[in-house]
Structure formats: C-alpha cells, structure tokens
Amino acid sequence: MSKGLKRTLIRILVIIAAIAAVLTFNSIMIGDTFVFRYENLLDGDVSMEAEPEEEGILSVEKIENKDGIIENTLKGIKPGMTQVVFRVRNSAGEDSGVVSTFYVHASGLITEGGFIGTTNNFHIIGIEFVIFLFLLFAHRVWLCIKTSKKNMYSYALPGHMGVALFLLAMTILFILISVRQGAVYYKLYVMTTVLSVVFMLFSLAAFPIIFILSVFMISSNIALIRHEGKSPSNTLGIILGVFLCVMTFGHFFIEALLKMIDIKNQALDYFVETSLGTFIYSLLIYLECLMASTLFCTLRAQHFVPAFDKDYIIILGCAIGKDGTPTPLLKGRIDRALWFANRQKEETGKDIIFVPSGGQGSDEVISEAQSIKNYLLEHGVDEEHILLEDKSTNTRENMAFSKKLIEERNEDASVAFSTTGYHVFRSGNIARGIGLHATGIGSRTKWYFYVNALIREFAANLSAEKRRHITNTIYLAVYAMLLAFASYNVY
C-alpha cells in the first residue's frame, strides 16, 4: 500500500471517528425527550393539556407550570410527524394555546418546528459548529506555516492563507451575530439563515474598502494606459474593480431578476434566491480573502532580505531603452542587486558574481543582459564578477539558462535573484519549479505599475491552483444549496 493511500485511509478513519464521537455526545446530551416551553398569559389557577393530532408518534410525559412558563415534556414513540396543540384554561373559562409541529426521528431524537429544527440543549450544536470552523482555520494556518517553511514562493501559500482568512471571518461574524440575536440557540433552520446573512453582511460591511480599492485600481489603470498605452492587460484593474462592486450587490440583482421571471412555486423561488445569493456572497468573500493573501505574500516576498552568503545573484532583464541603456524599471533591479552585493561585502567580506539575464528583442539594439553588464561595469563591478546569460526570452528561461550556467561552475552555489518588487513572488515560484533554490530581492516601482501587477499575480495564483479553487468553489455552491434547503423552514 502506498503512503498516499495510507494517508487518505487514515484521514477517512479520523473523520468517521470524529463524526461518531460527535453523534454519540449529542445523543447523550440531547436525549430522547423534548421540553416545549411557552408563556402562560392567563390569570389565576389554570389547567394545562397537550394533545398530539396523530396518535402513537409521541407521548406527553409531564406538564408543569413554572412561574408562568408552561413546560411540556414529550417523548418519542415511533418515527413520524405530528402537530401538538397546547392549551391552558383558567376558572373564568378563558383559554389560550399554541400549536407546533414535531418530528420524531429514527434515532429517537425529537425536533420542533421542522425536520431540521430545534432540540433540547440545542446551543451545543452551535458551539460545535464554531469549534469545527476554528479547527478548519487552525488546520489551514498549520498548512500555511508548513508550506512557507518548505517554499515561501509556492502558490499554495496564498491559497491556504485565503481559505484561513475566509474561515476566520466566517467564525467571528457567526459568533457576533449569534450572540447578539440569540438565533443560534433557537432553531437549526434559524442558525442556517444566520449563516446566509453572515456572508451578505460581511460583503456589505467590506464594501467601503472594496469601493476605495476599486477606485484605486481603476485610476491606476487609467494612469497606466496614459503612460504605457492601451492593451488588454492594462485594463485588468478596471475589469476587476467593476466586478467587485457589482458582485457586492449581487443579491439585489438576483431579487430583481426573479421578480421579472416570477417563479410561482414559493419553495423553488426561495431556494433559487437564497442559494444563489449565498453562493455569490460566499464566492465574493473567498475571492477577497484570496486577494488579501496574494497581496500579503507578494509584499512579504518583496521585502524579504536573504542571508548575505550568496555566490551568485541573477538580475532579471526587462525592456531597455532605444539607445541600449537600462530603463528606470531595469535600473531599479540592477541597483537593488548592487545594494545586496555591497551589504554582503560589508557584512561577510564575500564577493558575489552577477548574472545579467535577458536576450535581445526584435526592437532592441543589444541584449538586455549586455545592457545590464554595461551598467554594472559603469558602477565599478569587475568584469570577472559578471556571468552573462543573453539567450532567454521570458522569466522561466531567465531562471533555467542562468541555472545551467551557474551549475557548470558550482553545483552547490547559493543563489539570489533581483527583480521588481511585485515580480519576486512569481519569479521565486518559477525558480523553484525548475529546481533552482534561489531567494529574491525586490526593487521599487511606480504605483500605477504595482496595482496591475498585483492583479496579474492574483490571476496567476488562480491559474496555478485552479483545481484547488474550482474544488473550493464547488464546496461553496453545495454549501449554499444546503443552507437554502435547511433554512426554508423559516417560512
């Protein structure tokens, strides 16, 4: 048996054992009786009765008047559903009462108000749900730490971090709303309604931040278009900004659409509106959490400074000027590499070999690598400390061709690379993907470049981990449909 199969079987067994333990605990705490309480509104001594409409499903074990609160203890006989009429009558002939529906399940459990209704000690289920969410959150945090130690440039890292943020936000909001409204302690179908509301409230509460972010993304793209010209990639911020704003009010668009369609079946209308609304808001929160985690990972990679023990530093090329000199963007990368080399010399006395990397484009007079080399020579770097790589055409080739040159000279070399700040995380991911264990340093760039670059990193994250994100999206869709089904009893 393979290790992967063993691990999967162990996980399944742990899940089964956990579910069995929870069910056993709940059956002990909840029991096979139900205490139904309602307020006595009559004055004087009263007589009390409870009458099930269907015989043989449950029995009334005891009725007590405790300081104006009538307590009816019910016990299940066989599985089924019945309404029970509860009445009180005083000596003046006045009477009052309530009617409620009860389900006796095959396990002996009694729920009131619906098949998915309330039980005795129902608050236990709410607490268990919060514990479950927290355990999922803790597991994701553990995965973040584990992944970060193994590879700080892994696209799995912002994915785990995004899910952790999503679970944390959901847990906190659920607790706050439940404590304030007391809904979690009433009925399960009310609890599921609370969960649906949690997503909507989170999205609406975050809207001011999302709106400001969207305005910033749109304005940065306008500035980028003015400086760099029109292109599909330069409009990513505008598209994403509009998308986030529209999605925040998605539920209202769904309501308007359903009114136009006019679904006659109330249950179907409720199911479609609730499941779509919950799915849209949960997906929106999920994407927002992924964006936040992508930003964090990008900034962390940009500001990370490797240990000053490197043998080589690769300088990733980019477009050069018409006269063959580095553009401001490329100068930033070279200057950052020079800063690192000088600091290393000061700290440890160790020299470093620069690896300018980048081929010659069709509109460039010399290769990007040669342009970088010329700049290094002008700034006092000895030619013997420069190893030229002038064949690459993209970041993957930058890393692969540089790796080959370095390993021809030193297979155990310690390597760093220098690029623009927003590009460090993706470049590090590419380097690890081809087996180059290199750590990066990032240079600063214009603000209007940064926002669009972050959106591209976000898109790259979604693409690289698409299976994981598609799976999570399916989970959210199923979750939304289950909530809609469970909360229909609120009608």
Q: What is the CATH number of the domain that holds 416?
A: 3.40.50.620
Shared domain check, 412 and 374: yes
| Cα–Cα distance for residue pair 436/399, rounded to 1 Å | 8
Q: What single DSSP character describes residue 423?
A: G
Shared domain check, 352 and 404: yes
As for how many domains the chain has, the answer is 4
Q: Where are the alpha helices (DSSP H) in 327-394?
A: 328-348, 368-378
CB-CB neighbours of 45 under 10 Å: 9
Q: Report if residue 367 sits inside a domain.
A: yes
Cβ 449 vs Cβ 73: under 8 Å: no
| Virtual torsion, Cα 482, 484, 486, 487, nearest 10 deg | 150
Shared domain check, 194 and 334: no
Q: Report if residue 196 sits inside a domain.
A: yes
Shared domain check, 135 and 280: yes
Shared domain check, 264 and 158: yes
Q: What single DSSP character describes residue 385?
A: G
3-state secondary structure (DSSP) of residue 316:
strand
| Virtual torsion, Cα 77, 80, 82, 88, nearest 10 deg | 20
CB neighbour list of residue 349: distance below 8 Å, 6 or more residues apart: none
Q: Report if residue 114 sits inside a domain.
A: yes
Cβ 109 vs Cβ 119: under 8 Å: yes
Shared domain check, 190 and 56: no
Q: Report if residue 305 sits inside a domain.
A: no
Shared domain check, 230 and 84: no
Full-model pTM: 0.72
Shared domain check, 109 and 15: no
Q: Report if residue 422 sits inside a domain.
A: yes
Shared domain check, 167 and 251: yes
3-state secondary structure (DSSP) of residue 484:
helix
3-state secondary structure (DSSP) of residue 185:
helix
Q: Report if residue 164 sits inside a domain.
A: yes
Which of 119, 147, 179 terminates a domain? The answer is 119
Shared domain check, 154 and 281: yes
Shared domain check, 266 and 128: yes
| Cα–Cα distance for residue pair 234/193, rounded to 1 Å | 41
Shared domain check, 475 and 450: no
Task: Please list, residue by residue across 182-212, b when 16 or more beta carbons sit within 10 angstroms of its beta carbon and e when fewer do.
Answer: ebbbbbbbbbbbbbbbbbbebbeebeeebee
Q: Report if residue 306 sits inside a domain.
A: no
Per-residue pLDDT of the chain (491 residues), as tens digits, is 676 677 778 777 877 787 777 767 766 666 678 888 888 877 777 788 888 888 888 888 888 888 888 888 888 888 888 888 888 888 777 888 888 888 888 777 788 776 666 676 666 777 777 888 888 899 999 999 999 999 999 988 988 998 898 888 878 877 776 665 554 444 555 556 666 666 677 766 666 777 776 776 677 667 666 666 666 655 666 676 777 777 777 667 777 776 777 666 666 777 777 788 778 888 888 888 888 888 899 889 989 999 999 999 999 998 898 898 999 889 999 999 999 999 999 999 999 999 999 998 888 899 999 999 999 999 999 999 999 999 999 999 999 999 999 999 998 999 999 999 888 998 999 999 999 999 999 998 776 667 767 777 777 777 778 888 888 889 888 888 877 776 655 44
Give bridge partners of residue 9 from the DSSP assignment: none
Q: Report if residue 307 sits inside a domain.
A: no
What are the C-alpha distances in Å from 203 to residues 193, 264, 293? 16, 30, 17
Domain that holds residue 83: 34-119
What are the C-alpha distances in Å from 328 to residues 297, 319, 360, 453? 25, 10, 18, 17
Q: CATH number, domain at 78?
A: 2.60.40
Pull the structure tokens for residue 414.
């310690």
